[in-house]
Structure 1
Amino acid sequence: MDIKRSCLLSSLIDNTKPIMSTPRNRPPPMFSSESNTDNIYALQLTPLVNVHASEKSGLLDEQFHLEHDIDHQSSMKTQDSFRTTYSSLQTILSQMQLKLASVFLEETEYLKQREQQVEQEEQSLTKRMQQLKNIQIERKQIEQEFSKLKDRLETAVIEVTNFQTNGIQILRTLFSESRQIDEELSGLISQCIASLCRSRTIVNSKINNFLQKSEYIQSEFIDRQVLIHDTQSSIQLMLELVNTLNQLNTEHSQDIIIATTDFEKRYQEFTDLSQTTKYHLNVDKEMNEIRLLENKKIQLEKELLEQTILLENITTIIGKSIIN
């Protein structure tokens, strides 16, 4: 629009240059040259004034009339050209006004649209700020809940470690009782000593492996205390399994006590029978009883192995939950 406007104005200025260069009131150049010729003729013809006065006056009148007609015609032409240029200027100005009005309307509409866009952006920014505030509040709440869960897990880990130590003590007491039973059986049954020693070594190796694994699990718990917030369900399952293990340990301890008392009774009967000569020794029966006791001992060892397998499964479950 600015380029068109400047071009139109320049064209109008170019068209009006001859009009502006020749105003109405200024005499034409021919008249000025005629005045100069009059002066020259006056200087040259001073000695011949009386001879050529009549001829000169007639020529001057004719020339003056011609110049007057030329000036009148030029003034009319300039007036007509001025009128046409003025009318063209008016039309151009009206067109320019219309274009300016349309441009102004377009600019106002664009500004209104921009204002609406700015208002929408401000509203969206306010909504985003509110969302950010809500997110910050939720983050603080989540941090508080995480700290609470961390405290709970730490207490749970402490309880689990305490339970492990108590379980080890219970197992040690059970194994001490089994050793006492082995010592009582060693005086009477020489053939069972080797098997009992083998079973004892196996049980001791299992205990050592269990202790090593429990220490490894404890170290894993210490190293990964940050990731234990996902293991609450697995810890509850472990506690249930440990409760069942305690029940099994108590039942097995009762079975071992019953077996020891039964063996003592049978040993007393065997000694009574050996002292008397009235009754014959039933060696096969006693060997069967000894074998039954050995079978009971093997069953107890199997149950202890199952308990150790359960504990190993618990450790694997805990490890998987920690990895997850």
Structure 2
Amino acid sequence: MSDSNTTYFTNPSTFILLGIPGLEAAHVWISIPLCAMYAIAVLGNFTILLIVKREPSLHEPMYYFLCMLAVTDLLISTSTLPKMLSIFWFNSREISFSACLTQMYLVRSFSVMESGILVSLAFDRYVAICHPLRHSTILTNSVVAKIGLVLVLRCGILTLPYPFLARQWPYCRTNIIPHSYCRFIAVVNLACADIHISSYYALFYLFSVIGMDVFFIAVSYTLILRAIFRLPTKDARLKTFGTCISHLCAISAFYIPDFISAFMQRFGHNVPLHFLVLIANVYLLVPPVLHPIIYGVRTKQIRGRMLHLFTHKETEKFPPCALALRLSSVHDAVASSLNHLLYR
């Protein structure tokens, strides 16, 4: 970094976001797919919220969790992308110190919230498939509301140290952040102090919070796959297995870039900086685009209401999950729950 880009001070009042270092000449072109992804994410997630709100038959735990996921996707993408686009389009790179800390806190909070919702969705499917006759008694509306409250408290408490840790360090070398948004590790790396405490807490969060969430999701899907392979017909197994794989791909699109970005930021010193920034952007923008497709368009109940919403034509009415309670055998109940809750 040249001396002309370095400012000496006690602490900054503003930071300068570079966008995607090394690709400044392509910022306008990069903004086109990012803007398109944001538009799709906003339209898709708002559509899911509207459909669930208008359709009483969808007022069930699974769809409440999908609404939580849609709201979180909207918040996490909106907390970063508008500022990115202002950098790419208008070269508006300044962000105040307080606004930077706020963005840092919101991004990490919504990430923790989204991770918890993915765990809740996995648990909902596990109960519906492995204990189908008890699903309506285990996951009641009050239980869903309590889960939502716990997730909000968890994300608020666990991410609270991030802005405090970033605020306590002196920034006396430069206020230029080589990133497109105020990512925690990118900000604290500018501090002229020993930041091992911040780095250790970030790793603790990564392994204890995100790592545990990934573990619970893996356990849930392992049990779900066991139930799928016990289905009586090959067609049923193939259809539900394909849906399960699509869910795992959507989940992987959220977790894998986060892990890659976290490890490369600390240990990948030879990795090009623009690659690290692009990976961090993928982690924030791709899941909000995929979730309405995987959990919405591929969901028979939501897809039918979506067609009715946009075409104003009568769509097929699908039987509620309660029909599973009337089946004569446990195997049939499991198959019906898979059909309903695995969105095929």
**Which structure features the higher share of helix residues?**
1
Which has the larger Rg?
Answer: 1
TM-score by length of 1: 0.29
TM-score by length of 2: 0.27
Relative contact order (alpha carbons < 8 A, sep ≥ 6): 1 or 2 greater?
2
